[in-house]
Structure 1
């Protein structure tokens, strides 16, 4: 069973924050100093209703930015999981470019994915994982993920996300030429 502190951070607070204020959170995460402050603040908030003995230090908690299938992606490196449903990584995938929305109501919520530890034996190949997506209150498992706890786990997770996301839709207006006869 997942420890409450990392579970609250990954499955409750981080997605809620990103969905409530998509543009503001993206701007804050884009600034290295603000990103560190925000992550540690949210990590501490996730521990508020957790007994002190059950709190987990934020060892390894950090953020890196990537382009995945043409989309800007914030990858959260998390403290090592120790139970099922604790995540190795989570990711906010922004479907739109940097153009700001006219109003907060028009802001597009980023997609939120996790690479979670699952039941199974760890071995030289790593630990078993599953890739999941949160969409509001719905937690959907997308299938087996890359082995966790390896040096290439982050890159392998991003490759899986690229496959899940697929190419960006072509939104260009087709060129049309009118020919008179």
Structure 2
């Protein structure tokens, strides 16, 4: 069973914040100083009502930016999971829009994915994982993930997300030529 502190951070507070204020959160995460402050603030909020014994240090909590299938991805490196449903990583995937949004209400919500520890024996190859996606209150598993706890786990997770997202749709208007007979 997942520890409440990391679970609250990864599965409740972070996605809610990113969806409620997509433009502001993306802007804050883009600034290294603000990103660190925001992530540690949310981490502390996730433990706010928990006894001291249930709180987990944010060791390893950090953010890196990537391009995944033509989209911007904020990859969160999380403290090492100790139980199922705790995540190794989570990712906010931002779709680029033709017109920049002027207000939070117009901003498209990012997609939110997790790479979670699952039941199974750890071995030299790593720990078993599953890729999940949150969409509002719905959490669905998308299949097995790469072995957790390995140097290439983050890259393998991003590769899986690229396959899930697929290529960007072609939005160019095809050229049409009128031919008269």
TM-score, normalised to structure 1, is 0.96
Residue matched to 1:32: 32
Q: Report matched runs for 1:86-97 at 5 Å.
A: 86-97=86-97
Residue matched to 1:117: 117
- Matched residues in 1 for 2:62 and 2:20: separation? 21
Report how many aligned residue pairs link the two structures: 181
- Matched residues in 2 for 1:110 and 1:98: separation? 15
Residue matched to 1:61: 61
Q: CA deviation at 1:98?
A: 8.3
Counterparts in 2 of 1:110 and 1:177: CA distance versus 1, 3 Å: same
- Matched residues in 2 for 1:99 and 1:162: separation? 24
**Unaligned runs of at least 5 residues, structure 1:** none
Q: CA deviation at 1:178?
A: 3.5
Q: Is 1:105–2:105 an aligned residue pair?
A: yes
Residue matched to 2:144: 144
Aligned CA-pair RMSD: 1.2
Residue matched to 1:51: 51
What SS does structure 1 have at the residue aligned with 2:74?
Answer: strand
Post-superposition Cα deviations, 1:33-54, rounded to whole Å, max 9, x if no partner, equal 1000000000000010111111
Q: Is the 8 A contact 1:76 1:90 kept in 2?
A: yes
What SS does structure 1 have at the residue aligned with 2:114?
Answer: strand
**Unaligned runs of at least 5 residues, structure 2:** none
Residue matched to 1:163: 163
What SS does structure 1 have at the residue aligned with 2:105?
Answer: helix
Moved more, 33-42 or 88-97: 88-97
Q: Is the 8 A contact 1:72 1:97 kept in 2?
A: no
Q: CA deviation at 1:132?
A: 0.2
